[in-house]
Structure 1
């Protein structure tokens, strides 16, 4: 084993524990892949004896206990995937102490610990991770407390996924302005406050999901300048005011969901500019006025919901031009007139 550089046994039915001496006698091991098995028990501290490890993937097993702080001694570590196990927090202070130890891994690029019942809080030491860190995924971990503002120090971060936890407090301005950030998932938490204007500094952001929080205020008008945005999900918050006119300038956006908020005002003709969009959900808001005939310009649209608003007037005959439409919900408005016979042309409509 001393000469082996990689050990892989993925998608088997391996079970049982790792030996207490695991890692000893493996001075040249660089790659360890044991994901998609039925392994359980603890990860022994001795794993750090395999001091040249570059990648570790123990995800999708049944490991329990604590994530060993000895992993922080692996100076060459670049990828650590421990997601989908049963790890818990080891700290009496409720902070995730192993994160502090991992900040010593100066080459770490990817850290995935999602789907573990960790609990606890993210320590402020998260800001001490190397600028090499590009992906941090800690979703569905029962993590509590605030998102530390120090996470905004991670200038190379491209993917941050903290959804389905118990975070409270405001959105850190420094985090929202990370220039290399491409995907930010904070949905299903208890975050309050406003969406800061700093979000518009994230010029490479392609996916933003803030669904199911307690965020209030207006959507910053500068969001319309974020031409990299493809997925914008804001549903089930307390956002209000009119949607900024600039939002209809996001010509390449694929999904826009702002349902279950308190947005108001008319839907402008510029809505029809979103020719690449496949999903628009503006239901359960306070939109008023008529549905513009320009809605027929949404040539890629598959799902459209404008339900539970105060829209009035006729259903535009131009909707028949949206041939890709599969789901349409205009219920609970104040629409009048007849359903256009031309909608029969929508052969995919369910």
Structure 2
């Protein structure tokens, strides 16, 4: 066994023989390593290896684990690696490998369970031959330059658990259907837990067959893919889903009421789409939801008061929409809320004093609305608040003297309101404050100095 992590020791190639373990060095991988015919595990990470992987590695006929990750290795991946039938794990991630995948990939590795090739410079297509590695449970090709369609043959991985294809150049090249057809093939993968395809120019529609994906599925991350059409109502069938990211796409239509079926959902991101309508009350029945981001859509109507019933909520982003009515007083019930952004909407009415109940909140942004009335003095009790923006509203009256109690405050923007009176001297106690803007108000007197 060879297992090295962050080691810097040089071993002359002449000393390498058929032994159970050695200490490997920074520099190039010696060709003589191919002589270690009894070697079963070769794990070397983050030691600064350079050069190429010698094709003699393919001589290690008993090798079960091959890990050369987080080095500066380059060149193509030797095809001989994929002739080692005993291999169970291959990880070459975090290098500078280039070129396409070997044409024989998958044909001679019947025991392969994990293939990690992410964070390299690989290109070309994913070949159908890869699906012959029938025991594969984890496939990570993220952060490369692969092109072409995501092949339907991935559905042959009946034991597949984790699929990561993020940050490539995959497209949907089917002329017969605008849908992501490979998702239909993945319905054969009954053990699938994670499906990550973000940052690929797929430009297609989510198929209704998404309802047949594995009931084990816990995470879908598909941001920045050019996904079009509606969020399918069938999404509610994925009852084990904990993370759903569909942000920065071209989705239209409404948030389906079937989201109520996602009872284990913790993270929901639909930001930067063209989704319309109101937030369905069904969303308020997700007992584990902790992170909700609907920023930059076309959502309208009132901010649902029932959001205050989601006691698990930590981050709430509803900014840059078309919400109207008031800031619900019920949001004060979210005792563990950390970040709260309703900026760039058309909210009116007064700031509810119940905001002071958000004892651990670090960010409040209600800027770019039509909120009027006085700033509640109770906000001054939020000792953990770091960022507060109430800019571009219709607020009036004085800046509360209690703001001197915002001891963690770093950013304060009250500009473009109708505030009057003097700037409280108590603000001199805010030692962490590095941005302070009260311009375009009707304030008088001196600016307090620290």
Displacement of 1:268 in angstroms is: 2.1
Tell me how far apart the structure 2 counterparts of residues 101 and 271 of structure 1 sit (CA, whole Å).
Answer: 48
Range with bigger deviation, 184-193 or 259-268: 259-268
Question: 4+ residue runs of structure 1 moved beyond 4 angstroms?
Answer: none
Tell me whether 1:89 sits opposite 2:172 in the alignment.
yes
Contact 2:248–2:271 (Cα < 8 Å) also in 1: yes
Structure 2 counterpart of 1:15: 98
TM-score where L is the length of structure 2 = 0.77
1:258-307 deviation per Cα after TM superposition (whole angstroms, max 9, x unaligned): 00011111112211111100000000111111011101111100000001
Tell me how far apart the structure 1 counterparts of residues 107 and 261 of structure 2 sit (CA, whole Å).
Answer: 43
Tell me how far apart the structure 2 counterparts of residues 117 and 268 of structure 1 sit (CA, whole Å).
Answer: 43
Correspondences of 1:89-108 after superposition (within 5 Å): 89-92=172-175, 93-108=177-192
Range with bigger deviation, 25-34 or 217-226: 217-226
Contact 1:211–1:236 (Cα < 8 Å) also in 2: yes
Displacement of 1:177 in angstroms is: 4.9
Structure 2 counterpart of 1:64: 147
Tell me how far apart the structure 2 counterparts of residues 340 and 79 of structure 1 sit (CA, whole Å).
Answer: 56
Counterpart among 150, 156, 160 of residue 77 in structure 1: 160
Displacement of 1:176 in angstroms is: 4.9
Counterpart among 319, 322, 334 of residue 250 in structure 1: 334
Counterpart among 291, 314, 317 of residue 401 in structure 2: 317
Tell me whether 1:55 sits opposite 2:112 in the alignment.
no
Contact 2:398–2:422 (Cα < 8 Å) also in 1: yes
Structure 2 counterpart of 1:340: 424
Tell me how far apart the structure 2 counterparts of residues 236 and 133 of structure 1 sit (CA, whole Å).
Answer: 31
Tell me how far apart the structure 2 counterparts of residues 163 and 226 of structure 1 sit (CA, whole Å).
Answer: 22
Per the alignment, in what secondary structure is the counterpart of residue 148 of structure 2?
A: coil
Structure 1 counterpart of 2:37: none
Displacement of 1:219 in angstroms is: 1.5
Tell me how far apart the structure 2 counterparts of residues 344 and 158 of structure 1 sit (CA, whole Å).
Answer: 44
1:314 to 1:177, Cα distance in 2 relative to 1, 3 A:
farther
Counterpart among 341, 353, 372 of residue 288 in structure 1: 372
1:130-170 deviation per Cα after TM superposition (whole angstroms, max 9, x unaligned): 21000011100011111110011100000000000000000
Counterpart among 190, 211, 218 of residue 134 in structure 1: 218
Tell me how far apart the structure 2 counterparts of residues 297 and 198 of structure 1 sit (CA, whole Å).
Answer: 33
- Size of the aligned set, in residue pairs, is 350
Tell me how far apart the structure 2 counterparts of residues 144 and 347 of structure 1 sit (CA, whole Å).
Answer: 48
Looking at CA atoms only, which structure, 1 or 2, has the larger radius of gyration?
2
Q: Indicate the structure whose relative CO is greater, using CA pairs within 8 Å and at least 6 residues apart.
A: 1
Tell me how far apart the structure 2 counterparts of residues 269 and 220 of structure 1 sit (CA, whole Å).
Answer: 18
Correspondences of 1:257-276 after superposition (within 5 Å): 257-276=341-360
Tell me how far apart the structure 1 counterparts of residues 219 and 429 of structure 2 sit (CA, whole Å).
Answer: 45
Counterpart among 277, 286, 291 of residue 193 in structure 1: 277
Query: Which 5+ residue runs of structure 1 have no aligned equivalent?
Result: none
Structure 2 counterpart of 1:5: 88
Structure 2 counterpart of 1:179: 263
1:52-86 deviation per Cα after TM superposition (whole angstroms, max 9, x unaligned): 00101000001011111000011100000000000
Contact 1:191–1:215 (Cα < 8 Å) also in 2: yes
Tell me how far apart the structure 2 counterparts of residues 120 and 271 of structure 1 sit (CA, whole Å).
Answer: 42
Displacement of 1:91 in angstroms is: 2.1
Tell me how far apart the structure 1 counterparts of residues 173 and 220 of structure 2 sit (CA, whole Å).
Answer: 20
Query: Which 5+ residue runs of structure 2 have no aligned equivalent?
Result: 1-83, 435-450
Tell me whether 1:304 sits opposite 2:371 in the alignment.
no
Tell me how far apart the structure 2 counterparts of residues 82 and 197 of structure 1 sit (CA, whole Å).
Answer: 34
1:17-52 deviation per Cα after TM superposition (whole angstroms, max 9, x unaligned): 002221001100000000110000001001110000
Structure 2 counterpart of 1:123: 207
Displacement of 1:245 in angstroms is: 1.4
Correspondences of 1:231-250 after superposition (within 5 Å): 231-250=315-334
Contact 2:327–2:352 (Cα < 8 Å) also in 1: no
